[in-house]
């Protein structure tokens, strides 16, 4: 066992349960040869040719990887255009196939064939040029989940202008900070959007942000709200009018070096200052195409749905660039999964005959809470593969997803990756490697991951430590290509790695078993320290949600007169959970059985929901403030701010 104060985590070995994919899945899968792991090991980095071969290149690259000192460059000498790869090249054979399918908040539906997408992307690319956007200019996109968002992304890529998508739920200050950081003078936004059926204005926040950005901002505004009068000022343009003015125009795609920027995106900032991450054209696009092909098993004839928001990296990689590079049909969904009814997602899967569904453990836990009767109302037999993304998934939620959504017939890829990695790094290959509920799986072919202690030494199987990636991959961002200091500036979240030749400290805790399957234990800074013992929040929370009737849990520390710190558990229950007193004792017993009396919660607070960011992450900072009786601060990043008052009331009543 690694010393907890060194590695930052005390852990227990997860159950070693293996499940194999059905033969019917293996027979049709994109990647079925288990020798792919050996091929990458023997021929790294040249083996990454297979990712680059999924794209069309204007100029062939000279080398797969240039690695000199602290600088790495993928596919040097090569040039391409991301928009061409996602749209133009599919026209000869797929012009009448649906590229985008949109399901709106109010029940609206729109779809774009690849030819229709090509036309509107070209018209908007011409419009952007007409208002002054040139190659290298960063265009900020501040929009909800509407088709104009991926259209704007592709139009920017077409003219060589990197985009910076800012999630529409962020405040004006958050938008202004990101625009200032990116030196962005161009903004594409909309008048507003709908949240649970109610109109929410967005342009007023965009105006407030633009007023504080120097120099002046030129804006394009999309009309989304019915009957809303949106007054445009100087240097503001209406999206529809711009398209009309450039109807039928075609823009020659700008040839971009493989190492040129494609976009900038910012980490969510829930635990600190948002960090800008810059992904490059050749490496990023080849990597998301490869992982969409190999991990998500996407085919051109599929209807594929990732339920994330494009404002986050998951939406960039696995709603827009990866799926469209492969020429598939990708679904965009605007709204909450339980509005207007709790069967909304299953209704869409049935209507659109979705083949591959990719969602977050947060959503799966909500589905569990609502009950299996909702998916049972719909025909989900079109599903071939399920995926999870965004955070570790506990075995109970994994098995519920496998049984009630996949009918025990769909492999699940439990994917680990980050904004910084660009695409999936750790998961099973669905037709090659078995699944272990609760474990993400081994590193993908060509990816090298290790679990180390605080001094950078590899830990034995079953022991927890820091997860590091110690070999480059094509999807790595510019900041990592130019050195690792940007990533290593993580304080307690980074082990000492001075003796390693190259590495990326992920700031996540993990353990690996004898089969090299990696279980993610959560962020290293999501660590609870009680009486000198340090525990990962994921471990305690997994024990809590193993209790029947518990849907979701979050644990934090609060001050304690004797111990210094004590554990506080915040728990939401399933609808028919029953007596909370009995559940409270069951929670305490489960934690003591799984970890020991030292991890016994000081309090167990029941709430109808937990405070979450718009991307579905639990905001433990707020729960810790509540536990310590401190001021709560800014709630603007929450998608459910009303629950905070309910939790405070529950704490007072206890």
Helix (H), strand (E), coil (C) string for 315-338 = HHHHHHHHHHHCCCEEEEECCCCC
| Any domain includes 601 | yes
Whether the pLDDT of residue 577 is over 80: the answer is no
| Any domain includes 569 | yes
In this structure, of 79-83, 365-369, 384-388, the range with the lowest mean pLDDT score is 365-369
In this structure, of 117-131, 292-306, 591-605, the range with the lowest mean pLDDT score is 591-605
Q: Which token pair is 158?
A: 């077409």
In this structure, of 107-116, 233-242, 552-561, the range with the lowest mean pLDDT score is 552-561
d(C-alpha 589, C-alpha 587), whole Å = 5
Whether the pLDDT of residue 98 is over 70: the answer is yes
d(C-alpha 158, C-alpha 397), whole Å = 41
Q: How confident is the model at residue 268 (pLDDT cuts 50, 70, 90)?
A: low
Whether the pLDDT of residue 162 is over 90: the answer is yes
Q: Which token pair is 447?
A: 């990816």
Q: How confident is the model at residue 261 (pLDDT cuts 50, 70, 90)?
A: very high
d(C-alpha 388, C-alpha 408), whole Å = 16
Residues 439, 414 contacting (CB under 8 angstroms): yes
Q: How confident is the model at residue 557 (pLDDT cuts 50, 70, 90)?
A: confident
Report for 186-200, 224-238, 417-431, 489-503: range of highest mean pLDDT: 417-431
> How many residues appear in the chain?
654
Q: What pairing do the DSSP bridges indicate for beta strands 564-573 and 603-606?
A: parallel
pLDDT of residue 534: 59
The Cα-based distances of 36 to 18, 20, 44, 442, 636 in angstroms read 21, 18, 11, 13, 46
pLDDT of residue 624: 84
Give the chain's domain count. 1
In this structure, of 218-227, 472-481, 569-578, the range with the lowest mean pLDDT score is 569-578
pLDDT of residue 485: 66
Whether the pLDDT of residue 9 is over 50: the answer is no
| Any domain includes 631 | yes
Higher-confidence position of 70 and 412: 412
State the residue for tokens 């050996």.
Answer: 38
Quick one: average pLDDT of 154-167?
97
Quick one: average pLDDT of 355-370?
91
Residues 355, 325 contacting (CB under 8 angstroms): no
DSSP string, 464-515: -EEEEE-S--TT--HHHHT-SHHHH--GGG----TTSSS-EEEEEEEEE-TT
| Any domain includes 620 | yes
∠ CA 17-20-22, rounded to 5°: 150
For residue 623, what are the contacts with CB-CB under 8 A and spacing of at least 6?
A: 554, 556, 568, 570, 610, 611, 647
% of the chain with per-residue pLDDT over 70: 91
Whether the pLDDT of residue 531 is over 60: the answer is no
Q: Minimal CA–CA distance to 281: which of 422, 441, 96, 439? A: 422
% helix, strand, coil for the chain, step of 5: 30, 25, 45
| Any domain includes 553 | yes
Domain residues for 625?
Answer: 528-653
Using alpha carbons only, how large is the chain's radius of gyration in Å?
A: 24
- Per DSSP, the three-state class of 517 is coil
| Any domain includes 365 | no
pLDDT of residue 578: 66
- CB neighbourhood size of 89 (10 A): 17
| Any domain includes 599 | yes
493-522 pLDDT, tens digit per residue, is 578 777 778 889 998 889 999 999 999 887
Whether the pLDDT of residue 105 is over 50: the answer is yes
Average model confidence (pLDDT) across the chain: 89
State the CATH number of the domain containing residue 561: 3.30.300.30
pTM for the structure as a whole? 0.85
Q: Minimal CA–CA distance to 228: which of 253, 259, 200, 256? A: 200
| Any domain includes 361 | no
pLDDT of residue 609: 85
The Cα-based distances of 630 to 105, 563, 625 in angstroms read 37, 19, 5
pLDDT of residue 362: 82
602-654 pLDDT, tens digit per residue, is 899 998 888 887 666 788 878 888 888 887 766 766 778 888 888 887 777 76
Whether the pLDDT of residue 358 is over 80: the answer is yes
pLDDT of residue 5: 37
Q: How confident is the model at residue 529 (pLDDT cuts 50, 70, 90)?
A: low
Whether the pLDDT of residue 270 is over 70: the answer is no
Q: How confident is the model at residue 563 (pLDDT cuts 50, 70, 90)?
A: low
pLDDT of residue 12: 41
């Amino acid at each position: 066992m690694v010393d907890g104060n060194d590695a930052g985590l005390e852990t227990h070995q997860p159950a070693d349960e293996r499940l194999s994919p059905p033969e019917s899945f293996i027979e049709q899968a994109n990647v079925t040869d288990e020798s792919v792991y050996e091929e990458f090991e023997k021929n790294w980095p040249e083996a990454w040719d297979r990712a680059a071969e999924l794209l069309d290149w204007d100029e062939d690259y000279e080398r797969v990887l240039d690695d000199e000192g602290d600088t790495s460059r993928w596919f040097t000498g090569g040039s391409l255009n991301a928009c061409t790869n996602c749209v133009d090249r599919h026209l000869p054979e797929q012009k009448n196939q649906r590229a985008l399918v949109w399901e709106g908040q109010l029940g609206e539906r729109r779809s774009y064939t690849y030819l229709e997408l090509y036309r509107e992307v070209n018209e908007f690319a011409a419009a952007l040029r007409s208002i002054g956007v040139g190659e290298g200019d960063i265009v900020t996109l501040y929009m909800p989940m509407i088709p104009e968002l991926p259209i704007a992304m592709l139009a920017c890529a077409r003219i060589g202008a990197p985009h910076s998508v800012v999630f529409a739920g962020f405040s004006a200050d958050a938008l202004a900070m990101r625009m200032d950081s990116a030196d962005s003078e161009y903004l594409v936004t909309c008048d507003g959007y709908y949240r649970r059926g109610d109109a929410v204005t967005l342009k007023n926040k965009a105006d407030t942000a633009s007023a504080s950005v120097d120099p002046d901002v030129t804006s394009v505004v999309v009309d989304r709200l019915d009957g809303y009068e949106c007054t445009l000022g100087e240097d503001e343009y209406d999206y529809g009018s711009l398209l009309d003015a450039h109807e039928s125009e075609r823009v020659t795609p700008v040839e971009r070096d493989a190492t040129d920027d494609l976009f900038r995106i910012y980490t969510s900032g829930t635990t600190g200052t948002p960090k800008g991450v810059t992904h490059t054209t050749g490496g990023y696009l080849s990597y998301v195409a490869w992982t969409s092909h190999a991990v998500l098993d996407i085919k051109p004839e599929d209807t594929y749905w990732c339920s994330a928001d494009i404002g986050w990296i998951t939406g960039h990689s696995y709603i827009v660039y990866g799926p469209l590079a492969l020429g598939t049909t990708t679904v965009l969904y605007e709204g909450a999964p339980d509005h207007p009814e709790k069967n909304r997602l299953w209704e869409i899967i049935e209507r659109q005959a979705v083949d591959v569904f990719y969602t977050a453990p947060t959503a799966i836990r909500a589905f569990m809470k609502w009950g299996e009767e909702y998916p049972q109302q719909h025909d989900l037999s079109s599903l071939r593969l399920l995926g999870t993304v965004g955070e570790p998934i506990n075995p109970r939620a994994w098995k519920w997803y496998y049984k009630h959504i996949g009918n025990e017939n769909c492999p699940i890829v439990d994917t680990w990756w980050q904004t910084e990695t660009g695409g999936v790094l750790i998961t099973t290959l669905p037709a090659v490697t078995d699944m272990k509920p609760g474990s993400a799986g081994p590193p993908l072919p060509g990816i090298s991951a290790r679990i180390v202690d605080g001094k950078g030494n590899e830990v034995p199987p079953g022991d927890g430590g820091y997860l590091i990636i110690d070999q480059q991959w094509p999807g790595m961002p510019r900041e990592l290509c130019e050195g690792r200091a940007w990533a290593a500036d993580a304080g307690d979240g980074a082990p000492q790695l001075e003796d390693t030749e190259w590495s990326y400290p992920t700031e996540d805790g993990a353990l690996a078993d004898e089969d090299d399957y990696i279980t993610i234990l959560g962020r290293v800074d999501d660590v609870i320290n009680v009486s000198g013992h340090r525990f990962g929040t994921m471990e305690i929370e997994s024990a809590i949600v193993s209790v029947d009737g518990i849907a979701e849990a979050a644990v934090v520390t609060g001050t304690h007169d004797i111990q210094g710190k004590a554990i506080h558990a915040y728990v939401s229950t399933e609808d028919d959970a029953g007596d909370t007193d009995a559940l409270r004792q069951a929670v305490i017993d489960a934690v003591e059985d799984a970890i020991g009396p030292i991890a016994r919660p000081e309090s167990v607070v029941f709430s109808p929901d937990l405070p979450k960011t718009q991307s579905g992450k639990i905001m433990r900072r707020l729960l810790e403030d509540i536990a310590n009786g401190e001021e709560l601060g800014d709630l603007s990043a929450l998608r459910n701010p009303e629950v905070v008052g309910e939790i405070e009331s529950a704490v007072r009543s206890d």
